[in-house]
Amino acid sequence: MATNGIVKDLDFSSFRNVIDGKLTDTKSTRRAINPATNEQLWPCPVSTPQDVDAAIQAARTAFKSWSKTPLEHRKAQLMALSAAFTALKSEFGELLTKEQGKATFFAEQEVDFGAYWLAGTCALEMPFEVVDDTPDKLVKTRYTPLGVAVGIVPWNFPIMLLCGKIAPAVMTGNCIIVKPSPFTPYCGIKLVELAQKFFPPGVIQVLSGDDSLGPWLTAHAGIDKISFTGSTATGKRVMESASKTLTRVTLELGGNDPAIICSDIDIATVAPQIAAMAFMNSGQICIAIKRIYVHKDIYIPFRDAFVECVKAFKVGNGFEKDVFLGPVQNKLQYDRVKTFLDDVNSSGQKIATGGQVIDTDTSGLFIQPTVIDNPSDDSKIVVEEPFGPVVPLLQWSEEDEVLARANDTDMGLGASVWSKDIDRALRIGESLEVGSVWINEHLGIKPTATFGGQKQSGIGREWGLDGLRGYCNTQTVFLNHRRS
């Protein structure tokens, strides 16, 4: 099988930039750290402004022909990349556990998700709208590629989020330069190396580096689009940078997702699901459940069932059997999550379980999954996104009241409502100021479904037809049939 040949010639222990189709050395290198062991991993590139110039030049050249290739060819190449990537699931999964910390099962699941995004995006057709079609006039809106896109991603889903930018960018005829997080550079670098087997030089490139690289890329006059996923604070800096050149931006930012639990649910069915969706990836998911509003009539039994589930989660090195929570991904984030525990302790809030970091002989960045029992609405754990394994349970009694509390935030990424009464759940859900509403589920996403945030959770949309439009110029054509 062709993909087996590809498997054999990828070296999973050397990591270089990919510029203009070539593996490219940088003058200096750095090493990221395995968060489960505190061990340094392999050398990886520290890109310079010259590398940025070279990649953008190559992308601009490649765009001239790539943008003219038939849509079906672009889709076929994405499908081929998806298949090759799937064939490398265990190699990429192992690499992901080493650099990100998540357990093997979830790491391989992320490879599947990445492959699904590469192939699944191809189920979409290019957006096209006929506004008027009369004997006098045809008015239509068509969409053309923007040019060179830059995709910047965080460290929580280094593969899936990268695939979620590569697929719509190149399917719509753009070239893309991706920049992984300095905390998790390896999988992104290797994925783009793999992509060279299927795409012409300059269409998909990767630059890795330190904290200077993102600002160099976003400020460069040679790019046409920035697709950024990361924190709200950095998103504002990206937008400021883009304002100098009016570069198009899509910002996928932080979240503080509520789950509203109604009194008619079956606790034994729902509590384990909510626990999993709050603590998966050690709480480091933009759309993880971060505030759990439980109706007062079932608060105590729900809390007790929820805490039992959380206590059963195994925390540890992602390579160990049955681990559900790996480490927090990096020291900066670990220290930030500790500020939430400090605040809980100093303000005397009730801890239902957890509350401590875990000392290990490997110096890994482990924190006990922690549940805070009914803290006040203005406490740090309710107001801010911890992005770690600490979650508050809150009590509610009236529908209007819980809606007001759930909406009382600058964030607006996702939310879920849990009830057997679907009309009621939809009524509550559709009143929430968020980009994604789930009824009796949470975390659902698809390459063909629009995703994005309201308020300070983002600007623009990824995935689905709106996501494709985000990589395109809009051109409206008025064709008069009678005046020539």
Task: Report the residue number whose CB is nearest to ligand NAD.
Answer: 214
Least distance to ligand NAD from the beta carbon of 151, Å?
A: 10
**Token pair listed for 162:** 């990268």
Give the angle subtended at the CA of 379 by the CAs of 374 and 383, to the nearest 5°: 105
By beta-carbon proximity to ligand NAD, the closer residue of 87 and 465 is 465
Strands 370-373 and 350-353: antiparallel
* Catalytic residue annotation: 252
**Token pair listed for 123:** 């189920």
Q: Residue numbers of the site for ligand NAD (CB under 6 A)?
A: 152-156, 179, 181-182, 214-215, 218, 229-231, 234, 237-238, 252-255, 286, 385, 387, 413, 453, 458
Least distance to ligand NAD from the beta carbon of 54, Å?
A: 19
Least distance to ligand NAD from the beta carbon of 238, Å?
A: 5
**What is the Cα–Cα distance from 77 to 87, expressed in whole angstroms?**
15
Contact 54, 18 (CB under 8 A): no
Please name which of 369, 417, 380 lies closest in space to residue 396, comparing C-alpha atoms: 417
By beta-carbon proximity to ligand NAD, the closer residue of 86 and 231 is 231
By beta-carbon proximity to ligand NAD, the closer residue of 47 and 349 is 47
How is the beta sheet containing 458-459 ordered, strand by strand? 22-24, 17-19, 204-206, 175-179, 148-152, 225-229, 248-252, 458-459
Q: Distance between alpha carbon 225 and the CA centroid of its chain, in Å?
A: 18
By beta-carbon proximity to ligand NAD, the closer residue of 215 and 301 is 215
**What is the Cα–Cα distance from 219 to 227, expressed in whole angstroms?**
13
Least distance to ligand NAD from the beta carbon of 178, Å?
A: 10
Least distance to ligand NAD from the beta carbon of 278, Å?
A: 14
Strands, E, within 169-223: which ranges? 175-179, 204-206
